[in-house]
A and B are shown apart, each in its own frame.
Chain A
Amino acid sequence: MAFQLPALKYDYKALEPYIDAMTMDIHYNKHHGGYTNNLNAAIEGTSLTALPIEEILKDVSKLSPAVRNNGGGYYNHNLFWEIMSPNGGGRPQGELLNLIEKFFGSFNEFKEKFSNAAATRFGSGWAWLVWSDGSLKVFSTPNQDNPLMDVAEIKGIPILGLDVWEHAYYLKYQNRRPEYIQNFWNVIDWKAVESKLQMAISKL
C-alpha cells in the first residue's frame, strides 16, 4: 500500500504569526507531498511496500539514497506537523518535564541546548529531542536523516523535531534562522510530545 500524505489537523494559517500560511501550504503540499510521491516511486514493486515507515528507516544504509532521502522526508514532516498546534507553547508537564529536568538540568537549559543544535546545523537538516537508551538526548542530523536510521550518530525514537531546511522558514525569516527557532517554542504541542515520549518508553 502506498504511503499517504497525512491530513493536517489545523489550517495553513493556524500557526501564524510564527509560521505563515504560504510557507505551510508550500511546505506541506509541495515539499512533504514531493517526499511522499518520491518515496512511493522509490519502493514501488519491492517488498518494502509492506513495511511501516519506521521499519524501512531502520535498515536504510542498505537501501537506495532515494529511499533514505524521501523516506526520511516523509517521516520527519509527519512528526513535525504532529508536534505543533495553534494552542501550543508554554512548558511541558508531568513525566516529560521531570525527564527534561533530570537529563538537562532545567527546561530552560534544554531549550537552549535544542535551539543551539538547530541554529548550528550547517546546511539543511533537523534538530531532535530523542528517547535513546533510557535517556533524553538532543542533537541534529543532516538533510532528511533522523534518529531511527541506522546511519544516525545517535539512535533512538524522536519525540520532538525542528526542520531547519531553509524552505521551512525562508519566506518569512530569510537568513534569520535564530528568530524562526525562537518562535517555534510558541507552537510546540507539548501534549503531543508527551504522548510520543510515552509510546517511546513503552516500546523499549
Chain B
Amino acid sequence: MSNILTCRNVTKVFGSKVAVNDVTLDIPRGKIVGLLGPNASGKSTFIKLCNDLLTPTSGEILIDGNRPGIETKKIVSYLPERNYLNDWMKVSDIIGLFRDFYSDFNEEKAYDMLKKLNINPKDKLKTMSKGTKEKVQLILVMSREAQLYMLDEPIGGVDPAARDYILDTILSNYNENATIIISTHLISDIEKILDEVVFIKEGKIVLTKTVDEIREETGKSVDSLFREVFKC
C-alpha cells in the first residue's frame, strides 16, 4: 500500500522568512503521527501546504498520489487551529453543510457525538463558549470518513477533561486505512497514542522516530526528549 502523504523538498518562503525548509517526508496509511515542534516552527504552515491553503515555493506534496486540490480535499479532513464556523449558523446548519459538500461525512456519527457531549444541535454557534465551539469543530472533522486527518493543535486551548475526550475520540475513530497527523506542542498528553513522531525545528525536520524507539534508545519520554531538543 502506497504512502498517503509524500513530500519532496518542500519549501515555503514568506518574504525573507523560510517557514518550511526542504522537508522530505513519507507517511504511510494507518498511522497516528505527531508533528511536534514549538510555536512558529513551521507545523501550521506545513499543514496548510498539504491542504492547498498555501502554495509551496518549491518542492512537491502528494496526497494519495495527487497534488493538493479538489481530489485531495475530498479525502483529507482538516481541523485548523482557528475557529472557522460562521457564527450565525446553528449546529444543525453546519452539519448540513458538511453533509452537502463531503460525501464521506457520517451525519449519524456527528449527532451521536454531539449527544454524548450534551451539545444541542439547535443551538446557535454564537451562543457557545470557545471550548464548545472547538468540540463542535472536532466532531465535524472526525465524523468524516477521510483517508487523512490533519489536526492542528487539537488540544491546545482546552481543559484536561476535554483533552482526554478529544484523545479518546481520535482513538475511537482510528481505522487502519486512514492516517491521523496531529500537530501540537503539548506532548506528554498525546505521546502514548502516537505511532511516530516528527520533530520540526525552524521549518526543518530534525527527527523521525517511533515513540518506543525514543523511549528505548534514550530512556526518556518523548516529552523529555522534546524539552532537550528544543531547549531555549
Q: Please say whether chains A and B are actual partners in one complex.
A: no
